[in-house]
Amino acid sequence: MALDLGMPILVVDDYQTMVRIIRNLLKQLGFEDVDDASDGTGALAKLKTKKYGLVISDWNMEPMTGYELLRHVRADDALRTTPFIMVTAESKTENVIAAKKAGVNNYIVKPFNAQTLKTKIEAVCGA
């Protein structure tokens, strides 16, 4: 199954540079419909107004972290099946296990490269 390049993707990160990097990488992969939010609260508001095919989120943000966003998404009947990739500098095993338990689909440690992002998106979105 080929990747659906038309699917909307939501990038959540409080660093605009990182948002820009991920946006460019996604653009190189062929994704055009990319939105962004600077924390979990903003992301949750966008998720409730538009159907996204994938969420790519940082962990460490204020006031709502990516981990809290993930738990909100998985607790919401309308959003619970949305694929969710955590892209973060939080690399302790306890973080990875907590995210997995909370229902994350994949986990990327910063810094990462385009190939890693592509591989994870393919794994999560079933290419």
Partner 1 sequence: MACASKAEPAGPAGPTIPVNELLEIADYITKLKRGIAALRAQELTRDRIPMAHDELGSVVAATASATNRIMESAEAMLEIKAKTLEEYRSQVEAHIGDIFEACTFQDITGQRISKVVDALGQLEKRLSQFSTVVNVRDGEAEHDPEEARRKARAEKLLLNGPQLKGPATPQDAIDALFS
* List of residues contacting partner 1 (CB under 8 A): 17, 20-21, 24, 28, 59-60, 65, 67-68, 89-98, 100, 106-110, 112, 116, 123
Question: Whose Cβ is closer to partner 1: residue 81's or residue 91's?
Answer: 91
Question: Whose Cβ is closer to partner 1: residue 77's or residue 94's?
Answer: 94
Sheet holding 84-88, edge to edge: 34-37, 9-12, 54-57, 84-88, 106-109
Question: Whose Cβ is closer to partner 1: residue 63's or residue 77's?
Answer: 63
At its nearest, how many Å lie between partner 1 and the CB of residue 52?
21
At its nearest, how many Å lie between partner 1 and the CB of residue 49?
26
Supply 29's token pair: 């992969």
Supply 119's token pair: 């591989």
At its nearest, how many Å lie between partner 1 and the CB of residue 50?
25
Question: Whose Cβ is closer to partner 1: residue 7's or residue 98's?
Answer: 98
At its nearest, how many Å lie between partner 1 and the CB of residue 117?
11
**Cα–Cα dist 71/99, whole Å:** 9
